A and B are shown apart, each in its own frame.
Chain A
Amino acid sequence: MNDAVLSFSHIRQEFPAPGGGTGIRVIDGIDLDVGNGKFVAVIGPSGCGKSTLLQMAAGLLAPTGGIVRHRGRAINAVNREVGFVPQQAQLFPWKTLAENIELPLLLRGVATAERRERVASALEAVGLSGFEQYFPNQLSGGMQKRGSIARTLVYRPDVILMDEPFGALDAQTRMVMQDDLQMLSHDAGATILFVTHDITEAVLLADNVAVMSQRPSKLLANIAIDLARPRNVFEPFKNPGFEAAYDAVWTIFRSQIGIRERTH
């Protein structure tokens, strides 16, 4: 075994076609390792099964073939050692912000005093102190997203799975959140598997960018991004070496989009 925290080996996934018939092969043999404390971004054309990989890592979906391991242990039930940040914030609308963030701790049987302390520090980390008693529908989209991230950070999961977490945000909010995430993940020393369709985002945030092909998808490349940290997410082009890194990803990614255009 290698020292990867999360390892996908020979993953295949088929989904039954609507109304029977032969299934649709979405993933066709993917091998991917996520090293300890690494930030790995997965990009690929839409429908290529990026999110499916996260579902597997969380133990919410069993692959048709292959195996997903978390610290060497095969995942065959819901994986409670990970944190999941979905595309929509998905805060519980019937709980206040503080109650939302407290929930994972409550579910894990953390004592009251410690819960209060950790909720407060998680809220402070994402800049939401003072909004404890608000309900999610009283918060802006960006604030809800921060809440969602705080709810994941608060129980210090071994790996954080993020499924296009900033896809639904406006451009400015998104940059601020990317900057915050960079800082938070660095401070927490977190291992992150991050799905996105945005090359700039992937290059700016990740240590490694995995590029997936279109359906049935394979791993086209796993590109190391050696830009110095902290990176400037507001002016991507000002990061020394950004252009070359972006180009390396784009050269591979472009072929996938090109093929799509030809077939349609």
Chain B
Amino acid sequence: MNDVATMAEPPGADGTSPARRRRSLAGKAGRGLVKLVPGLAILAFWQWASGRLIREIYVSKPTAVAARLYELFASGEIYPHLWTTGQELVLGYVIGVAGGILGGYALGRSPRLANIFEPYVMAFYGIPKIALAPLFIIWFGIGIGSKVALAAIMVFFLVFYNVYTGVCSVDRELINLTLVMGANQRQLTYHVYFPAAAPYVLLGMRMAVPYAVIGVIVGEFTSSVQGLGLFIHEASSTYDPAGVFAGIVILLAFVVAANFLAGRLERRLLRWKTPMAHAPSDI
């Protein structure tokens, strides 16, 4: 790492040639295809084994599930369920994330608050949230309220701990430096705490997506009038495995889509964490 040599030769903006970029694009497509192989193999095996190794009434088969999915969307039967579950998921997730960020940030910034409240949060964290489902039904009714509450509380703890850890881990020296540079508390929050905690916040938000789904579905299983959970529950109690799998596929699609969006957001906001191919530090 010779400083002088580095000075003398400033590299191009990102240092990648078009040819290299093309090759990496082809490589990306190849890797994407490789990723599909295990999934396709499982589907093929499922299709083949159904009716041969295991009775179809137990496991259905991919073509039947696909047919069922088509039917559900074509007839419009699934839309009310989707609408209800979608609302519950979004509301529960947003409330949980907002609460987690606020709580985690407050406790992370104030050691005094953390001292008082941390043990309580820890204790509540230990409660299996699923055990609360029946209680929430009593408190918030069998409508969307109870599901939103259940999803929110599951999301809250995950986000809370991530944000709390993130804020606590900000380098003290960096904070002192920023203060000497002339920052007030608001500027310190904006320029140091938020960006420093961002990787933790985003990780928490990403990890919380499946938990929101679990919260909502458990709530709907317990008691509800409408929703994907109810749909799956009814399908399974009427020996309709294709219906169960169709419901699960929809949930899966939701989680994958949410994960993809979160990943995109993460890459965008954390641009500074992933250096470009040829930076001076490599020379």
A-to-B contact residues, CB < 8 Å: 58-60, 78-80, 82-84, 86, 88, 90, 92-95, 103-104, 107-108, 127, 130-131, 133-135, 137-143, 151, 155, 170, 172-173, 176-177
Given contacts A93-B272, A138-B275, A176-B4, contact A79 B180 (CB under 8 A): yes
Q: Indicate if the CB atoms of A108 and B182 lie closer than 8 Å.
A: yes
Expressed in whole angstroms, the Cα–Cα distance for A210 and B187 within the complex equals 37
Q: Which residues of A contact B174 (CB under 8 A)?
A: 90, 92
> Is B236 part of the binding interface, using a Cβ–Cβ cutoff of 8 Å?
no
| Nearest-CB residue, chain A, relative to B279 | A138
Chain A nearest CB from B186 CB (Å) reads: 10
Query: Are B3 and A140 in touch, CB under 8 angstroms?
Result: yes
- Asked if B173 is at the interface (CB within 8 A of a chain A CB), the reply is yes
A172 cross-chain contacts in B, Cβ below 8 A: 2-4
**A94 CA to B274 CA in the complex, in Å?**
11
Is A176 a contact partner of B279 (Cβ separation < 8 A)? no
Residues of chain A lying within 8 A (CB to CB) of residue B114: none
B113 in the interface (beta carbon within 8 A)? no
Cross-chain contact B177 with A86 (CB below 8 angstroms): yes
Chain B residues contacting A88 (CB-CB under 8 Å) are: 173
The 8 Å CB contact of A142, one of B3, B177, B182, B183, is B3
Q: Indicate whether B1 reaches chain A with its CB closer than 8 angstroms.
A: yes
- Candidates B179, B181, B184; contact of A60 at CB < 8 Å: B179
Q: Is the CB of B177 within 8 A of A107?
A: no
Beta-carbon nearest neighbor of A136 in chain B:
B272
CB distance from B225 to the nearest CB of A (A): 47
CB-CB < 8 A to B181: which residues of A?
80, 83, 103-104, 107, 151, 155
Q: 22 A-B pairs, CB-CB below 8 angstroms?
A: A60-B176, A80-B182, A83-B181, A84-B177, A92-B195, A93-B272, A103-B178, A103-B181, A107-B184, A108-B182, A133-B13, A135-B272, A137-B273, A138-B275, A138-B281, A139-B279, A139-B281, A140-B1, A140-B280, A170-B1, A172-B4, A177-B3
- Do residues B191 and A103 form an inter-chain contact, with CB atoms below 8 A? yes
> In the bound complex, do residue B280 and residue A78 qualify as a contact, i.e. CB atoms below 8 Å apart?
no
| Chain A residues with CB below 8 A from B177, complex form | 84, 86, 90
Interface residues of B: mostly helix, strand, loop or mixed? helix
B272 lies within 8 A of A137 (CB): yes
State whether A143 touches B280 (Cβ < 8 A): yes
Q: How far is the CA of A244 from the CA of B281 in the complex (A)?
A: 40
B268 to chain A, nearest CB (A): 13
CB distance from A163 to the nearest CB of B (A): 10
Chain A residue nearest in CB terms to B196: A94
Let me know if B171 is at the binding interface, CB within 8 A: yes
Interface of chain A: mostly helix, strand, loop or mixed: loop
- Contact pattern, B 64-95, Cβ under 8 Å of A = 1, otherwise 0: 00000000000000000000000000000000
Given contacts A90-B174, A135-B272, A137-B272, are A143 and B180 in contact (CB under 8 A)? no
How many positions in chain B have a CB within 8 Å of any CB in the partner chain? 35
Indicate with 1 or 0, residue by residue over B230-270, a CB within 8 angstroms of chain A CB atoms.
00000000000000000000000000000000000000000
- Nearest A residue to B182 by beta-carbon distance? A107
User: Does any Cβ of A come within 8 Å of B207's Cβ?
Assistant: no
Residue B131, interface by CB 8 Å: no
Given contacts A90-B174, A139-B280, contact A173 B179 (CB under 8 A): no
A83 lies within 8 A of B180 (CB): yes
Q: Which of A108, A131, A137, A176 contacts B275 (CB 8 A)?
A: A137
Chain A residue, CB-CB nearest to B269: A94
Point out the residues of chain A lying under 8 angstroms from B196, CB to CB: 94
**Quick check: A130 and B10 within 8 Å, CB to CB?**
yes
Contact between A78 and B2 (Cβ–Cβ < 8 Å)? no
**B10→A131 contact, CB < 8 A:** yes
8 shortest A-B CB distances, which residue pairs? A138-B279, A142-B3, A94-B195, A104-B181, A173-B3, A107-B182, A130-B10, A135-B272
Which residues from chain A contact B275 at a C-beta distance below 8 Å?
Answer: 135, 137-138
B2, B4, B171, B182 interface centre (most CB from chain A within 10 Å): B182
B6 CB contact (under 8 Å) in A94, A133, A143, A151: A143
Q: Within 8 Å of chain A (Cβ to Cβ): is B203?
A: no
User: How far, in Å, is A192 (CB) from chain B's closest CB?
Assistant: 15
Minimum C-beta distance from B8 to chain A (A): 10
Min C-beta distance of A65 to chain B, whole Å: 22
Complex-state Cα separation, A176 to B7, whole angstroms? 12
Quick one: CB contact mask for B1-32 with A, threshold 8 Å, 1 for yes? 11110110010010000000000000000000
Taking CB as reference atom, which chain B residue is nearest A169?
Answer: B3
* Chain B residue with Cβ nearest A86: B173
Q: Tell me if B98 counts as interface (CB < 8 A to partner A).
A: no
- In the complex, residue of chain A having the shortest beta-carbon distance to the beta carbon of B191: A103
Complex contacts, B192 vs chain A, CB 8 Å: 92
Please, how many angstroms separate the alpha-carbon atoms of A135 and B276 in the complex? Answer: 10
In the bound complex, do residue A140 and residue B180 qualify as a contact, i.e. CB atoms below 8 Å apart? no
Q: What 8 additional pairs, Cβ within 8 angstroms, besides A92-B195, A140-B3?
A: A80-B179, A90-B177, A92-B191, A133-B13, A138-B280, A140-B6, A143-B280, A177-B3
